[in-house]
Amino acid sequence: MRCIIAGSGISGAVLARELAEKGNKVVVYERRDHIGGNLYDYVDEHGYLVHKYGPHIFHTDDEGVYQYVTRYTKWSPFKLECGAVWDGRYTVTPFNFHTIDTFFEEERAERIKKKIKERLPGRETATVVELLEHPDDDIRGFASYLFEKDYAPYTAKQWGISPHEISPDVLKRVPIRLSYATGYFNDKYEMMPAYSYTRLIQNILDHRDIVVETGIDVLDHVRIWGTEIYWDGVKFEGLFVYTGALDELFAHQYGELPYRSLRFEWRYSDMDSYQEAPVVAYPQEKGFTRITEYKKLSLQKGTGTSYAVEYPYAYKESEKMEPYYPVPTAKSQEQYARYKDLADQIPQLVVCGRLAEFKYYDMDQAIKNALKVADDPSN
């Protein structure tokens, strides 16, 4: 069967490989001038491997996903440490008992920690949403402080809306540690590619029945009429896999879905170290949300340091921006459901990935989802 896949990010690459392994002829079209989607990385002019579209760290508890990625490239163990800065002070993230010690005077800090141990016995983590609703004044006060200083201003900048409008799942994504434990993830496997993410994608796509074409936007060639797909005016008879923004495929007939885009300011410093952790959030700073210091992201050696300052803003297709994150509100979920209903009526169409499914996926989740879709594209 002939298969067209729109997008060469991790979802498109995994689907291309799996479909080719089943004997299908696959063509991958990528509108950018490189493969890998937002996972693309490269060595900058200072000799540091940087991620063009923001930091990516592979982590998973899924043995099958781990076995899959290790089939295509070598990996090195890497434990991510992150942080946040406000009021001139640094704290690790996820927030933990160190955070309490840093921002509260000693007597109150000890009281908060004692109550957390008593009221949440045996718990390793809790979400800020849960703690904001806790009946104890001190625990709730700690959560309110974090919400005011970090969650609310960071969310407002990142998503462009009030934190009260965003799906609670967004606020739950990074839990609060109820101890002095550190580390951003708790997964069994946490690692970085020994070479690069780009090489991982190259290896996945390296198959005799896969052809990759960059610099081609499928939306310039594909039209949907009724429940049929046409390529350059000719009815397409194969499988069409779409990993882009779903509203764009259907010409925005139900309006534009909200996505967030990002702008990066790339900088270099002669300093050996710019900040305390590879990825640090700055909720109080105007405009930008976080800084990634790539020298520290995969423990690279060299003179000076390369880093990127990250500015989020509203995605506009007409301005040739890159969509990064779906904005999950009650209204946008209802709007997306209408587009998904249209897609479900087209037997040859498969939508897969963060943008097409209007859903936040970590890398391992995206891989697992793509493998599941490849097993039964008609489902």
Query: How does the average pLDDT of the chain come out, rounded?
Result: 95
The mean pLDDT of 322-334, rounded to a whole number, is 92
pLDDT interval class at 224 (50, 70, 90):
very high
Encode pLDDT of 29-86 as tens digits: 999 999 999 999 999 999 999 999 999 999 999 999 999 999 999 999 999 999 999 9
pLDDT at 379: 64
pLDDT at 370: 98
Tokens 């008992």 -> residue: 97
pLDDT at 172: 83
Encode pLDDT of 254-311 as tens digits: 999 999 999 999 999 999 999 999 999 999 999 999 999 999 998 899 999 999 999 9
Q: Tell me the HSE value of 259 on the side-chain side, using a 13 A CA sphere.
A: 26
- How far apart are alpha carbons 310 and 262 in whole angstroms? 7
- DSSP string spanning 42-72? EE-TTS-EEETTS---EEES-HHHHHHHHTT
**pLDDT of 171 higher than 90:** no
